[in-house]
Structure 1
Amino acid sequence: MTQTLLEIVYKAIDDKRGEDIVVLNMENISLLADYFLICNGNSDRQAQAIAKEVQDKAQEHGYDVKRVEGFDSARWILVDIGDIVVHIFHKDERAFYNLERLWGDAPQLDVPTAE
């Protein structure tokens, strides 16, 4: 179930041209979620479009979006889908927060997408 959601979310980000998509396996590392997906957009509008696409596709496939934070400011948008938390950054903010380094002990995954 989580793998399918992971693929749906990854494809939603990719469809809206999210950049530098990183998937972190947070199992046994964080109680917050099993996976973090991190990406960035080049503008506020693109970051919001990515977040909206992630929400729409998750709901379309029957998954419950628990909460969305930061949508209006679009600097760091968090979409919580239970086992998966998506972090969508404005390009300028991503390097500053550097979640990949913060969660450096989490293994990165490759997500195959069905085209």
Structure 2
Amino acid sequence: MTLSPKEIVDIAHQAADDKKAVDIKVLDISSISIICDYFLICTGRSSTQVQSISEYIVEKLKDAGIKPLRVEGFREGSWILLDYGDVVVHIFQEMERGFYNLERLWGDASVVEMSLKG
């Protein structure tokens, strides 16, 4: 089954919220970069929570027939990157998120308003 980038980011967003990620943001970078269409950026309060959020997103997308092309940073759990091609998920601990400040770096991107189920 093939999902659109928007459907992938919707599933990842819901999964991050289900695992209590905080400050979840989706940036549409499709008009300013060829890297991908969307960044999903969120924060976990500990390495354990960051890893848990990552595992749950991977599980939910795998259930939908989508596997990551690459996973980086899982062992350390301070910044995990899940590469789904058109969607890249960044799961940070608070200090790393503030340091790298992707929202500022990609400040020309549109912030996508997301809705959650139940």
Q: Does the pair score TM above 0.5? A: yes
Which residue is equivalent to 2:116?
113
Give the structure 1 partner of residue 12 of structure 2: 9
**For 2:106, which of 84, 103, 106 is the aligned residue?**
103
Query: 1:93 is matched with which residue?
Result: 96
Equivalences for 1:24-43 in 2 at 5 Å?
24-43=27-46
Q: Aligned partners of 1:71 and 1:30: how far apart in 2?
A: 26
Identity between Structure 1 and Structure 2 (%): 46
How many Å apart are 1:107 and its aligned residue? 0.6
Q: How many residues align?
A: 115
In structure 2, stretches of 5+ residues that fail to align are none
The 1-side partners of 2:70 and 2:100 are apart by 21
Q: Is structure 2 residue 64 aligned with structure 1 residue 61?
A: yes
**Residue 4 of structure 1: how far off its partner (Å):** 1.6
Please give the secondary structure, in 1, of the residue aligned with 2:54. helix
Alignment RMSD = 0.9
Distance 2:57 2:85 in 1: 13
Which residues of structure 1 form unaligned runs of 5+? Answer: none
2:48 counterpart residue number? 45
**Alpha-carbon displacement from aligned partner over 1:16-42 (angstroms, at most 9, x marks no partner):** 000000100010212111000000100
Deviating 4+ runs (over 2 angstroms): none
TM-score with structure 1 setting the length: 0.96
The C-alpha deviation readout for 1:29-58, integer Å capped at 9, x for no partner, is 121110000001000000000010111111
